[in-house]
C-alpha cells in the first residue's frame, strides 16, 4: 500500500531543519551499485575502478552483503546514525554505529528479516550478540570506506557542498518552505506540513522525532531515503545536484605555472591522480622510478595535496580538495 505521508512542522521543528554531509549515507547505495551487474549511466567509471578491489578484499561476501539488500529497500537504521554535526568524520560515524544499543540492533535486524524472509548466518550471530560483533561490522565498513569511497571523497564532497550552498541560498532568498518544496518531486510543502507521496509507511512526529536533517547524496538514486527513529530527528537523503558530471574527466590544460612551483615530477603526479592510483601504477604511467614516485608522493602528502588510503597490501593515493583547487587555478 502506498500512502501520502505528512510530517507536521512546529516553529521549533522549522528552526531545527539543517543539512549534513554523511559518509555513512553513501555506503548502502554505492555498495548496491557494486553488486549490480547492470552498467550505471553515471557511476560506471567508479564501478569499473572499484569493483576489482571490492572483490579482492572479499567484500562481496561479507557482513555488508547480508546487511544491505541487493535491491532498493530497507537498510538497518543503526547503519545510518543521525549526523552529530554538519559533516561528521567517517570515524565518528563508525563510533556512533559501534555505540548502537543491543535493542536497536535487534529491532533493526527483526525488521530486515521481515523484509527478506530470513537472516543469514552472520546476522543471526549479530542478533544474538550485538555488542560483541558490531566491531566486526564497523571494521568491514572502514575497509569499504578506504577502498571504495575515501580515494574519491574530495570529488564527491565538492558536489555535496555545492548542493548545500545552492539550497541554503534558496532558503535565504525564498524561505524554508520553498526549499522543502523544491527538494524532490515527491515532496510538497503546504500549511506547515511536508507531504511525501509514494511512501509505504505513514510519517508523523510521534514516530519521527523533532526537526529534520537533509542529506545530499552522490549515490542515492532518483528516489528518497529516510530514517525515522526518535528521539533522533528524521533524516532524508536525496540525490545531490550535479551528480551527472561527477566522474567526467577534468583535464588540466596548463601545468607550466604549477611546475615552476612544485617541480615537473610532482605536477605530473598530481595530474595523473585524476584517478586514484598506487605507487606502482603511477610509476608505470609516468615513467618515473618507483622510488622517485614514493618520495614525491610523500612530499605532496605532507603538503596536504595528496591523501593515502590502504587497500589490502597496497596504498592508493588520491588528490585532495586543495590539490583540485591548485590545478584549477593553474589552468585558469
- Please give the pLDDT value at position 200: 64
- Same domain for 284 and 306, yes or no, is yes
Q: Do 166 and 241 form a contact (C-beta atoms < 8 A)? A: yes
Domain end (from 150, 173, 203): 150
Q: Is residue 250 part of a domain?
A: no
Measure the CA dihedral 320/141/81/192, to 10°. Answer: 60
- Same domain for 66 and 109, yes or no, is yes
- Please give the pLDDT value at position 202: 66
- Please give the pLDDT value at position 186: 86
- Same domain for 69 and 183, yes or no, is no
- Same domain for 122 and 189, yes or no, is no
Nearest in space to 70 (alpha carbons), one of 78, 61, 58: 61
Q: Is residue 251 part of a domain?
A: no
Q: Is residue 245 part of a domain?
A: no
- Same domain for 103 and 210, yes or no, is no
Tell me how far apart the 2 most distant CA atoms of the chain are, in Å: 66
Encode the chain (332 residues) as per-residue pLDDT tens digits.
444 577 888 888 888 999 999 999 999 999 999 998 788 899 999 999 999 999 999 999 999 999 998 877 789 999 999 999 999 999 999 999 999 999 999 999 999 999 888 898 999 999 999 999 999 999 999 999 999 999 999 999 999 999 999 999 999 999 888 898 888 888 888 878 888 877 666 677 777 788 899 999 999 988 888 888 888 898 999 999 999 999 988 776 678 888 999 999 999 999 999 999 999 999 999 999 999 999 999 999 999 999 999 888 889 999 999 998 888 888 77
Q: Give the CATH number of the domain where residue 302 resides.
A: 1.10.10.10
Q: Is residue 281 part of a domain?
A: yes
Q: Is residue 246 part of a domain?
A: no
Domain that holds residue 202: 3-20+156-238
3-state per-residue secondary structure call for 260-323: HHHCHHHHHHHHHCCCCECHHHHHHHHCCCHHHHHHHHHHHHHCCCEEEEEECCEEEEEECHHH
| Burial label, 117 (beta-carbon count in 10 A; 0-12, 13-18, 19+) | exposed
In whole angstroms, give the CA distance from residue 139 to residue 266. 33
For CA atoms 272, 46, 238, 15, give the dihedral sign: negative
Domain end (from 132, 150, 168): 150
Nearest in space to 315 (alpha carbons), one of 36, 53, 136: 53
- Same domain for 37 and 133, yes or no, is yes
In whole angstroms, give the CA distance from residue 141 to residue 147. 10
Q: Is residue 244 part of a domain?
A: no
- Same domain for 167 and 106, yes or no, is no
- Same domain for 222 and 131, yes or no, is no
Name 212's bridge partners.
Answer: 17
Length of the chain measured in residues: 332
Integer Rg of the chain from CA: 21
The tally of domains found in the chain comes to: 3
Q: Is residue 268 part of a domain?
A: yes
- Same domain for 219 and 324, yes or no, is no
Q: Is residue 40 part of a domain?
A: yes
- Same domain for 204 and 306, yes or no, is no
Name 277's bridge partners.
Answer: 317
- Same domain for 10 and 29, yes or no, is no
Domain end (from 150, 167, 202): 150
Q: Do 297 and 269 form a contact (C-beta atoms < 8 A)? A: yes
- Same domain for 44 and 11, yes or no, is no
Name the E strands within the chain: 3-8, 17-19, 187-190, 193-199, 212-217, 225-227, 235-239, 306-311, 314-319
Amino acid at each position: 500500500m502506498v500512502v501520502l505521508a505528512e510530517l507536521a512542522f512546529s516553529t521549533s521543528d522549522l528552526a531545527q531543519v539543517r543539512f549534513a554531509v554523511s559518509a555513512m549515507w553513501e555506503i548502502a547505495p554505492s555498495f548496491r551499485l557494486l553488486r549490480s551487474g547492470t552498467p550505471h549511466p553515471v557511476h560506471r567509471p567508479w564501478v569499473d575502478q572499484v569493483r576489482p578491489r571490492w572483490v579482492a578484499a572479499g567484500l562481496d561476501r561479507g557482513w555488508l552483503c547480508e546487511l544491505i539488500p541487493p535491491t532498493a529497500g530497507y537498510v538497518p537504521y543503526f547503519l545510518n546514525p543521525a549526523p552529530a554535526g554538519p559533516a561528521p568524520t567517517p570515524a565518528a560515524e563508525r563510533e556512533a554505529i559501534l555505540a548502537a544499543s543491543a535493542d536497536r540492533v535487534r529491532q533493526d535486524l527483526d525488521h530486515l528479516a521481515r523484509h527478506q524472509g530470513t537472516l543469514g548466518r552472520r546476522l543471526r550471530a549479530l542478533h544474538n550478540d550485538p555488542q560483541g560483533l558490531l566491531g566486526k561490522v564497523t571494521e568491514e565498513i572502514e575497509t569499504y570506506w578506504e577502498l571504495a569511497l575515501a580515494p574519491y571523497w574530495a570529488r564527491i564532497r565538492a558536489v555535496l557542498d555545492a548542493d548545500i550552498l545552492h539550497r541554503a541560498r534558496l532558503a535565504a532568498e525564498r524561505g524554508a518552505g520553498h526549499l522543502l518544496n523544491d527538494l524532490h518531486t515527491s515532496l510538497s510543502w503546504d500549511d506547515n506540513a511536508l507531504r511525501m507521496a509514494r511512501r509505504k509507511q505513514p510519517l508523523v512526529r510521534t514516530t519521527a522525532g523533532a526537526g529534520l536533517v537533509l542529506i545530499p547524496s552522490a549515490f542515492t538514486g532518483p528516489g528518497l531515503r529516510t530514517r525515522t527513529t526518535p528521539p533522533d530527528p528524521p533524516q532524508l537523503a536525496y540525490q545531490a545536484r550535479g551528480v551527472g558530471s561527477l566522474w567526467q574527466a577534468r583535464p588540466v590544460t596548463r601545468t607550466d605555472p604549477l611546475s615552476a612551483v612544485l617541480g615537473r615530477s610532482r605536477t605530473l603526479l598530481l595530474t595523473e591522480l585524476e584517478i586514484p592510483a598506487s605507487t606502482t601504477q603511477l610509476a608505470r604511467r609516468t615513467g618515473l622510478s618507483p622510488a622517485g614516485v614514493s618520495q614525491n608522493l610523500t612530499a605532496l602528502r605532507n603538503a596536504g595535496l595528496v591523501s593515502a588510503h590502504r587497500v589490502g597490501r597496497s596504498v592508493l593515493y588520491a588528490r585532495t580538495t586543495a590539490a583540485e583547487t591548485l590545478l584549477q587555478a593553474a589552468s585558469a
